[in-house]
């Protein structure tokens, strides 16, 4: 019996345009869910098509109905924009830590099979590390060379954790050009505003035209809801205080 592991499955490798620059984008369900929201939004706005999966080592216990059929935990989408192949891995859940090495190897297989030249990772950075008015930090692998982002480099001494960290380390080890972008976020929130920042940065780097108005409207609704909840709780506390006076 073969050992359980994650496996790459491409449905139509030939759909990817040949002789074009190819870039890969992914993120995870980390702080603020920034990586997940960003990748899901890019896929929707660029009308990307399902290209394949990273199959999990066990049978998934959840799915949803999408235009292309039943969803899977880790889906690969593709689109060609302005002559550039854009490949996005949507992680509906984080990979099982027990099988993380095979998950990372599956991404490396994708990079090699489709001749991907640049990797862009999206995560969230705890707001407590903010030093001024900056909106994000970024970091790159040694092989990224002249690839740059206009903004402050990652906070010295702060840890990058989870599957994004594992992937970033392996990209460094394999000499693959990669940039990781970390908008500031509240760790426990669902942060559409931070995702909008990530989308803007990627749009500038990759010459994409992606409107973030929808993300900003979501952010405003969430902030309004949180404000109403806080005001309601404060009102309850005042009422209880008066009752016990």
**How high is the pLDDT of residue 17?**
87
58, burial (CB in 10 Å: exposed 0-12, middle 13-18, buried 19+): exposed
Rounded CA separation 154/100 (Å): 24
Q: What would the pLDDT profile of 105-163 be if each residue is shown by its tens digit?
A: 999 999 999 999 999 999 999 999 999 999 999 999 999 999 999 999 999 888 999 99
CATH code of the domain in which 119 resides: 3.40.50.10900
Residue 160 in domain = yes
- Establish if 2 belongs to a structural domain: no
| Cα-based distances in Å from 95 to 44, 127, 150 | 22, 25, 31
Reported for 9-14, long-range contacts at CB under 8 A and 24+ positions apart, including other chains, are 9/52, 9/53, 9/54, 9/55, 10/51, 10/52, 10/76, 10/110, 10/113, 11/50, 11/51, 11/52, 11/53, 12/51, 12/52, 13/51, 13/52, 13/113, 13/114
Residue 28 has pLDDT above 80, yes or no: yes
Inside any domain, residue 169: yes
Contact indicator for 141, 177 with CB cutoff of 8 Å: yes
H-type alpha helices, 11-99: 34-45
User: Would you state the pLDDT for residue 2?
Assistant: 55
1 in any annotated domain? no
Domain with 147, as residue range(s), is: 7-211
What band does 37 get if pLDDT is binned at 50, 70 and 90? very high
Give the separation between CA 55 and CA 78, rounded to whole angstroms.
17
| 90, part of any domain | yes
The predicted model scores a pTM of: 0.90
Which of 166, 168, 170 has its CA nearest to residue 181?
168
Could you tell me what percent of the chain has a pLDDT over 90? 79
Same domain, 97 and 176: yes
User: 87, 110, 94: which is closest to 36 by C-alpha?
Assistant: 94
Q: Which long-range contacts (CB under 8 A, 24 or more apart) does 64-70 make?
A: none
Higher per-residue pLDDT: 238 or 195: 195
Residues 6+ apart with CB under 8 A from 155: 125, 129, 131, 137
Q: In this structure, what DSSP letter does residue 69 have? A: E
Q: Do both 189 and 218 map to the same domain?
A: no
Q: Report pLDDT for 98.
A: 95
pLDDT at 1: 40
Whether residues 195 and 236 fall in one domain:
no
219 and 190 part of one domain: no
pLDDT-derived band at 194, boundaries 50, 70, 90:
very high
Domain count within the chain: 2
User: Does 191 share its domain with 245?
Assistant: no
């Amino acid at each position: 019996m073969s050992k359980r592991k994650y496996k790459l499955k491409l449905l139509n490798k030939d759909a990817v345009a040949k002789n074009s620059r190819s870039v890969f984008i992914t993120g995870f369900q980390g702080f603020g869910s920034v990586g997940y929201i960003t990748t899901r939004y890019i896929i929707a706005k660029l009308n990307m098509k399902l290209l394949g999966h990273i199959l999990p080592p066990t049978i998934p216990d959840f799915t949803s109905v999408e235009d292309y059929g039943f969803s899977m935990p880790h889906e690969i989408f593709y689109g060609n924009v302005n002559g550039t192949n854009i490949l996005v891995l949507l992680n509906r859940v984080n990979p099982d830590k027990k099988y993380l090495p095979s998950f990372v190897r599956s991404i490396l297989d994708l990079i090699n099979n489709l001749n991907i030249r640049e990797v862009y990772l999206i995560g969230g950075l705890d707001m407590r590390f903010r030093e001024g008015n900056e909106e994000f930090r970024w970091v790159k692998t040694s092989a990224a060379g002249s690839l740059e982002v206009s903004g402050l480099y990652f906070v010295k001494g702060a840890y990058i954790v989870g599957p994004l960290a594992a992937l970033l380390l392996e990209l460094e080890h394999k000499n693959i050009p990669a940039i990781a972008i970390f908008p500031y976020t509240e760790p426990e929130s669902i942060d559409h505003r931070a995702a909008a920042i990530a989308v803007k940065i990627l749009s500038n780097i990759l010459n994409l035209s992606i409107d973030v108005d929808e993300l900003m409207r979501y952010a405003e609704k969430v902030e309004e809801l949180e404000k109403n909840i806080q005001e309601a709780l404060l009102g309850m506390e005042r009422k209880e205080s008066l009752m016990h006076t």
